[in-house]
Amino acid sequence: MADVAFNGPVRGRLAPTPSGYLHLGNAVNFVLTWLLVRRAGGSLHLRIDDLDRARLRPAYLENIFQTIRWLGLDYDTGPRDSEEFEQAYSQLHHLAEYQAMLDNLRSKPGLIYACTCSRTSNLPPSSLDGEHGCRSCQATFATAGGAWRVRVPATPIAVVDAWRGPLQVDLAATMGDFVVRKKDGLPAYQVASLVDDLCLGTTLIVRGEDLLPSTAAQLFLASQLSTTVGFAHAQFIHHSLLSGAGGQKLSKSQQQPLDRGIVGATNSPRVVYATVAELLALPKAAGNSLDALQQAFTDFGVESKK
């Protein structure tokens, strides 16, 4: 699982959301991304997805930088602290670019439609009529409080995962007609993430397996735009998820009032390194430190090429 070959320069990114304190799963994703980029001699960017301003808290934003320092990771470009982030790197500085893509998508006949339905109204295609529940909504683009949705195809979307191999994702069944512009007028995650990766020139995207439908959604959007060819050639890795004590997926939305994330849960990042070593099937000793983990990961790459 640990081996992956790159065909050109590698440009990776860390892309946390300041909507809660970063948990073990976030930290594992950071370390795994860092290992892959550094072994390939690539560059790493810190991108913070902050369009959900309602859930953003200064403490959550600062926790991102704290966690990266605690893990001992470095990155090549991106903000170094909360102040620099707000001044130069917030997604709010790129609203024009997001709107340009939305307008481009809207110009494609039949691709985008306006909708005032609730999230629960966006049902998967019916086995009776093949239509989505909200495609019959009478809203127009001029309707106040309406969202923009994309008509997803009935055919599965092909996703090539560098570890898992070729995959087929049924967007109609997993996401339905997903939102690209929210009711408040802001771009939705799928558009903002795609634009950010295109602007950055991202060639490696490491995500949890729960974001596989998002990868498919963004590949579909990119396929509608002739200027986004590069995204289709990015390499994707979807790693397995970690579970909490009760077996549920780790989630910032489920944090308790006294939670302080992985940094507050343990006095050493060794638990993160050990989890990554286990995920990559590396020797147990690789989890003793970041240096040991990087060395074992590098040695694995060398051995796999012999």
Which tens digits make up the pLDDT trace of 202-215?
999 999 999 999 99
- Ranking 132-141, 252-261, 268-277 by mean pLDDT, the lowest is 252-261
- List strand residue ranges (DSSP E) for 221-286, in order: 235-239
**Tokens 């974001």 -> residue:** 211
Domains belonging to the chain, first-starting first, are 11-109+153-173+187-304 (3.40.50.620)
* CA–CA gap between residue 110 and residue 145 (Å, rounded): 21
Helix 24-39 / helix 270-279 crossing angle, nearest 10 deg:
70
Residue-wise pLDDT for 50-89, tens only, equals: 999 999 999 999 999 999 999 999 999 999 999 999 999 9
Residue with more model confidence, 151 or 4: 151
Structure tokens at 66: 């704290």
The secondary element (H helix, E strand) that includes residue 167 is: strand 165-169
The pLDDT assigned to 128 comes to 26
* Cα distance between the two ends of the chain: 16
**Helices and strands in the chain: count of H runs, count of E runs:** 11, 9
Range with lowest mean pLDDT among 22-26, 185-189, 246-250: 246-250
- For residue 160, which phi and psi values (nearest 5 degrees)? -100, 115
pLDDT score at 257: 55
| pLDDT over 60 at 122, yes or no | no
| Token pair recorded at residue 161 | 């995962």
Instruction: Tell me if 278 sits within 8 A of 255, measured CB to CB.
Output: no
Average pLDDT, the chain: 87
Structure tokens at 173: 């069944």
Q: For residue 166, is pLDDT > 70?
A: yes
Please give, one letter per residue, the 3-state secondary structure of 6-54.
CCCCCEEEECCCCCCCCCHHHHHHHHHHHHHHHHCCCEEEECCCCCCCC
8 A C-beta contact, residue 46 and residue 81: no
Q: What is the pLDDT of residue 188?
A: 97
- Whether residue 220 is predicted with pLDDT greater than 90 in this model: the reply is yes
**Residue 79 contacts residue 46 (beta carbons within 8 Å):** yes
Is residue 41 pLDDT above 90, yes or no? Answer: yes
Q: What is the pLDDT of residues 123-161, one digit of tens each?
A: 554 332 334 457 777 788 888 888 999 999 999 999 999
pLDDT grade for 244, boundaries at 50, 70 and 90: low
Structure tokens at 218: 């963004």
Calpha distance 242→276 (Å, rounded): 11
Please give the average per-residue pLDDT across 272-281, as a whole number: 96
User: What is the enclosing helix (H) or strand (E) of 97?
Assistant: helix 95-106
State the residue for tokens 């790129």.
94
Q: How far is CA 254 from the centre of its chain?
A: 19
